[in-house]
Amino acid sequence: MPGRPRRQETVQLMSERPSQRTPNRRLASLIAEAGFSHAGLARRVDQLGLEHGLDLRYDKTSVTRWLRGQQPRGTTPALIAEVFTRRLGRRLSAQDLGLDACAPVYAGLEFAATPAEAVDIVSGLWRKDSGTHTELRKIAFTPAGLVVPSRDWLIGRADEWVARDGGSGRRTGREAGAAPAPGRADSGRTDGAPRTEPRNL
């Protein structure tokens, strides 16, 4: 039949196609930096998945496959990135680990260290909300997610753009002094009126 040789040729070409997977050197480097064993990394990813209501069952063989270039599915790349973020104390994305981007685990809850990062986060949420909502449906709601931005705010460096009021001389925060004591409602008056003390009845 005329079509048969062509089908055989197609099958042969597909079987001879070289694998496009390449070793994930970024992930290997970060595993060494974090001091994780393959089993230890898999266990931490499983534990983080439980925080988000995900029953993941990765093991050291899974990590070996990732190192060989296999891409984990679903939100797993974001979970792996969060594991390294907690361990190393700096924000890492899936791309930093040599993994494909996916819906973030803490969509909209990332702590923005700079105004530019805040704009990026808000823009990302706007794009998801204006789309088909496919990615948003992949994101599980969990109260534990509120811990992450609070932690990042506590350990992050103060932003020079918002930490103090430029060079205008106005004081902010603690520099402005303590609030007036209760019962001294007129303590901040500057119109020259006499200060009245509270009367004990």
Residues 146-158 pLDDT 10s: 666 666 666 666 6
Cα separation of 149 and 65, whole Å?
31
Which residue in 18, 20, 40, 21 sits closest to 31, CA to CA?
40
Q: Which of 5-9, 50-54, 187-191 has the highest mean pLDDT?
A: 50-54
Identify the pLDDT of residue 135. Answer: 52
Name the pTM for this structure: 0.49
Give the lowest-confidence range in 31-35, 50-54, 61-65, 70-74: 50-54
Residues 103-147 pLDDT 10s: 555 555 566 666 776 676 666 666 655 555 555 555 555 565 566
Which residue in 136, 138, 139, 109 sits closest to 122, CA to CA?
109
Label residues 92-129 b or e (16+ Cβ within 10 Å = b). bbbeebbbeebbbbbbeebbbeeeeeeeebeeeeeebe
CA distance from start to end of the chain: 110
Residues 66-99 pLDDT 10s: 999 999 988 899 899 999 999 999 988 899 999 9
Phi, psi of 113 (to 5 degrees): -75, -20
Cα separation of 146 and 51, whole Å?
12
Does 199 score more than 50 pLDDT? yes
Assign 23 a pLDDT band (cuts: 50, 70, 90): very high
Cα separation of 173 and 182, whole Å?
19
Which residue in 94, 200, 81 sits closest to 148, CA to CA?
81
